[in-house]
Every structure is written in structure tokens, then in C-alpha cells.
Amino acid sequence: MPNSDFSYPWFASLQAQLDGQYVADKLPHAILLTGETYSGKLVFATQLTKRLLCDETKALTTVTPVACNQCASCHLFEAGTHPDFAHVTPQDSKQIKIDQVRGLIAWVATTSQRNGLKIAIVDPAEQMNHQSANALLKCLEEPSGNTFIMLVSSRSGSLLPTIRSRCQQYAIGLPERSQALQWLQTALPDRDDHALLLDIAGGLPLAVTMQLNDGYLAARRVVAEQLAKLCSNQTTALKSVAEVQKIEIEDFLDICQSIFSDAVKYDATKDTNAIKNKDIADSIVQIQNHTEVDFLLAAYKRSCSDLRIVRSTSNPNKQQLLEALWIDLRSGNPHVISHFGL
């Protein structure tokens, strides 16, 4: 579970809205929290759950603005043993399986063991397979007492329409840029490149912290360098694949998507100030100089669709995806363009 105690100012208005609904006894029993990957949906859901379960919260009177971290409920929550909280998330694959949803349905039918409230988080909801989603539907149709079910999703469009229609939807949006920068200055006081980091992360402060932790920034430089060499015929696809082999496939495709998007922008503007990845502008300029814009667009589309495949598949064939994408890149426009039907 993500850190539930950190403060994220851009959650404030949605937090106030949901707290207000809870106090007025109008909080919907089925909630769908949407937002981009790394927008903080799960953090928000976790914080809300912990605050609602906290002994400082009194239904129809008050919701504690911050979980107290002192009460029995907060201790149980942090220990991952709160009997009135269920977190349904993929276990040994990327799918939420039918048995997990059956377990949730059984749990919903039990009585609360503490203050009468029970909360479940289903995350990411789009990873329910068809059977699981249908099973959950029944559960959403028959809300039971003080049980709240929160679905968290960055691809809510792929949920069953019947699931979406039974939930009240709330979106976690991008923070204001000034607010995000201010937060990053506090969270990362030792760095002086907050604006660049925020651009690279698409305006999502939580993505910045994730990218710093897992070597994403260094991986970006490797991918940009290899793409620039590949597009200017200074290397072969197989050699390049070997260079990027250690990078997580999801990061790799995310990086490709961002670089090609910037190369298209640079093609249109010839201005490196217009691109997100300013620290690797040299490589992006080189990629654009050697590549037709139709091809850059095709490569961008390809990275996006491969990324969708990787995020929804249990065991993507990394080697195959990498080689196919890079061999296409190396082989030039016509193949890729026909391959994607552009």
C-alpha cells in the first residue's frame, strides 16, 4: 500500500467533497476513482479509507482531516490487519480473479468488527476479468449497510458500462503547476530541477518521485541515445535491444512514447523549449533530423499501443515487443506505416 500519511494539497477539494458527503450521510456506497497512472488515485483512496475508519471520525458529525495514527483502528490499518478493510488487487498475475471477488462478496456479507463501517478498495479495477466484473456487479447492486466499495482505475473506459453506471465517479486531476512545483520543492529539497522533472513526468508529482526511485531518469538517457543512434544508422536494432534489455518493458515503452511525442513536437516547432524532455533535447533533435514525421507518429502510436498491451497482460513477451518495435524503427517508414495501417 502507498504511504497514506503524506500530504498532497491537490487532493484537498475532492477530499472536502467526499468528507462532506460522508458527514451528510450521502457518500455513495459504490465509488469509482479515476485518474492517470501515478495521479495518486490509490493514495487518495487509501488515505480516505484510513481517515474514515480512524476512531477520530464520527459518522454524521465529523471526519478527521488526517488519520490520528494513535488509535487502534489506525494501528490495525498500518499493520495491514484491519478487519473492516479489504484490498482487492491482482495477486500472482495482472488479473483480479473471480475467487478474489467471491471473497470480497463474502466479506461484504459479514458484520463490521469495529465501528460499523467497512471499506473495500478494488485496484486497479480494469484488471478484473469478465467473470470477476460480473460477480462484482451483483455486489454493487446490493449495497449493504455501511459498506463502501471504491474502485480505482486509470482506464475506466474499459470497465463494464454496467459497473460504471452503478458507481459514482470522481476524478483525480493534475495539480496546478505552481502547486505541484511547490510540493516537489518540499519533497525533494536537494534537487534544483523540479520544473524539468515535472515536465518529464507529465505534470504528475507522484510520478516524479517514482521515476527518481527506480532509475527511470537514467533509463531515459539510454533509450534516447540508442534511438538517436538507431535513427541515424549508427547502430543496429539488435545491438540497441541489448543496450536497453535491462530496462523494465513498461518504463521502456513509456519513455519511447514520450520521446516520439517530443520529436513530433520538435518537428512542428523546431523549438526545444516546446518539448518535455529538455535534458535529452540533443538526442530528440537528432531523432527528428533523421526521421520523417509520419514515421515518428507511427512510432509514437506503436509505443502507446504496446504500452497498453503490457499494462493489461500478465506475461508480455518483452523480447518480442522490443525487437519488433526496434527492428521496425531501424527498417524505415513504409513497413511501420503499413504495419499500423496509417
* Measured CA angle at 328 (ends 326, 331), to 5 deg: 110
User: Does the protein bind Zn ion through residue 207 (CB under 5 A)?
Assistant: no
In our burial notation (b when 16+ CB lie closer than 10 A, e otherwise), range 43-64 reads bbbbbbbbbbbbebbeeeeebb
Who contacts 106 (Cβ-Cβ below 8 Å, separation ≥6)? none
How big is the site for Zn ion, counted in residues (CB under 5 A)? Answer: 4
Of 46-54, 182-190, 210-218, 236-244: span binding Zn ion (CB under 5 A): 46-54
Q: How many whole angstroms separate alpha carbon 207 and alpha carbon 204?
A: 5
Nearest residue (CB) to Zn ion, 15 versus 132? 15
Nearest residue (CB) to Zn ion, 15 versus 153? 15
Torsion angles phi and psi, residue 17, rounded to 5: -65, -50
Residues 62-101: x where in contact with Zn ion by CB under 5 A, - otherwise, as a string? ------x--x--x---------------------------
Pairing of the two strands 118-122 and 147-153: parallel
CB of 115 to Zn ion, least distance (A): 11
Residues 177 and 42: beta-carbon distance below 8 Å:
no
User: Does the protein bind Zn ion through residue 54 (CB under 5 A)?
Assistant: yes
User: Does the protein bind Zn ion through residue 227 (CB under 5 A)?
Assistant: no
CB of 300 to Zn ion, least distance (A): 47
CB of 54 to Zn ion, least distance (A): 3
CB of 72 to Zn ion, least distance (A): 8
Residue 176: DSSP 8-state: P
Site for Zn ion, rule CB under 5 A: 54, 68, 71, 74
